[in-house]
Amino acid sequence: MKAYGKMSKEELLALQAELQARYDKLKGEGIQLDMSRGKPGTDQLDLSAPMLDVLNSKSAFKGVNNIDVRNYGLMDGIDEAKELFAELMECPKDHVMVYGNSSLSVMYDLISKAMVHGICGSTPWCKLDKVKFLCPVPGYDRHFAITESFGIEMISIPIDENGPDMDLVEQYVNNDPAVKGIWNIPKYSNPTGVVYSDEVVRRFAGLRPAADDFRIYWDNAYAVHHVYMEDKAQILNIADECEKAGNPHMYYELCSTSKITFPGAGVAALITSPENIADIKKTVTIQTIGYDKVNQLRHVMFFKNAAGVNAHMEKHAAILRPKFDAVLDCLEKELGGLEIGSWIKPRGGYFIAFETLEGCAKRVVALCREAGVVMTPAGSTYPYKRDDADTSIRIAPTCPTPKELTKACAVFVLCVKLASVEKYLTKMA
């Protein structure tokens, strides 16, 4: 079939009638599928079930320093967990602080602390006239929700195959003291799957912020989440690069085991300078007397080291690859050459980013919902959920079963086609 933009009005009307009939039939099938979040599937969660057996009522519950992990103490995490994350993220152990199950809650706490108490002695943000944050787009909706909840002004920064537009980032960061941070998912970015280039990482590390309390929020959520094991992405280490550039305190790197073991019962870690950790501890010691050290020990016993984590991730990749391939194959087969959408083949992570014709994303998502397939609301990948071009859709292929995914893909491509025909006919009216 030729590209929709090259069809006559009569051809488009005939195509619309055909697509509408197929859509009406699909709606009558009672489909109920939720693809709105990037959740691991049941088969992935089953991979970590043996971890629940490494501790039992007869276990010693003692770590290397002979402290009972069931009790209070070690607010910044057990040594074994620090060592595991240090090896995995390639940083010194004294740069690691281990938390509970969610890196998102750590990021929220970091922003909350900056608002109320300031960073390393700086003026609390709540006492400033204006606080701004840079937001690479398309990006992670929950990042944007955090800064929006505190009334922080968010500025969209375009992202391409190499990462954010660093000319724009440098212009804002180096000249505006109101700019206090920038969100990042540097590897297998959510939702685009983009991997930051070496040049981009070095330019981040070399920033010369106008604000002393500016921080790079480096959410390395997908550091080991490869889909194609023969094509693993590598990025420069932000900690090393910031050290080389003379900015050892400028970054907060986040990671967790949420999509490695159990999203609801993982372990999160913050990697940053010892000075930053000391500053963070001042408020964390008031907030908690300690995170779940039993779970930290359980993870260490299960994985033992970074090699154990990497071996585990190969099992995840074996489950995820067929799902990603199924979606990508469907997109190419059904939409290739029609010039009504574009997408990127990610090498890892949990999402596939899809770009519709301008003004069609919300319509596609609405059509999918009417047909029984729930997707992330269009616009969610932008600050304030405002995608002015209305083109960005996030596809989350990980949770459905292969059979469900096949059905969901059929619904999605049909909705893209129908919305695109409507768009062209509207332009001809």
Summarised one tens digit per residue, pLDDT across range 376-397 is 999 999 999 999 999 999 999 9
pLDDT-derived band of residue 35, with 50, 70 and 90 as boundaries?
Answer: confident
H/E stretch holding 157 reads strand 153-160
Fold of 61-304: Aspartate Aminotransferase; domain 2 (3.40.640)
Reference 383, options 150, 221, 97; nearest CA is 150
Q: What is the C-alpha to C-alpha distance for residues 400 and 398, in angstroms, rounded to an integer?
A: 6
Token pair in block for residue 188: 């297998």
Check pLDDT > 90 for residue 47. Answer: yes
DSSP, collapsed to helix, strand or coil, labels residue 2 as coil
Amino acid identity of residue 156, one-letter, is S
Reference 74, options 257, 271, 256, 296; nearest CA is 296
Q: What is the C-alpha to C-alpha distance for residues 193 and 336, in angstroms, rounded to an integer?
A: 20
**Half-sphere exposure (Cβ direction) of 193: Cα atoms closer than 13 Å:** 23
Portions of the chain given CATH number 3.90.1150.10: 4-45+310-428
Check pLDDT > 80 for residue 429. Answer: no
Check pLDDT > 90 for residue 402. Answer: no
pLDDT-derived band of residue 56, with 50, 70 and 90 as boundaries?
Answer: very high
Angle between helices 402-428 and 9-27 (to 10 degrees): 150
Position 169 scores a pLDDT of: 98
- Burial of 232 from C-beta contacts in 10 A (0-12 / 13-18 / 19+): middle
Q: Are strands 392-395 and 352-356 parallel, antiparallel or unpaired?
A: antiparallel
Portions of the chain given CATH number 3.40.640.10: 61-304
How much is the pTM?
Answer: 0.96
Q: What is the C-alpha to C-alpha distance for residues 329 and 197, in angstroms, rounded to an integer?
A: 27
CB 392 within 8 A of CB 52: no
Q: What is the C-alpha to C-alpha distance for residues 148 and 152, in angstroms, rounded to an integer?
A: 6
Mean pLDDT within 417-426: 97
Give the C-alpha distances (Å, rounded to integers) separating 297 from 65, 79, 340. 12, 10, 50
pLDDT tens-place string over residues 266-304:
999 999 999 999 999 999 999 999 999 999 999 999 999
**Class of the CATH domain delimited by 4-45+310-428:** alpha beta
Position 64 scores a pLDDT of: 84
pLDDT-derived band of residue 240, with 50, 70 and 90 as boundaries?
Answer: very high
Q: What is the C-alpha to C-alpha distance for residues 168 and 332, in angstroms, rounded to an integer?
A: 33
Position 388 scores a pLDDT of: 96
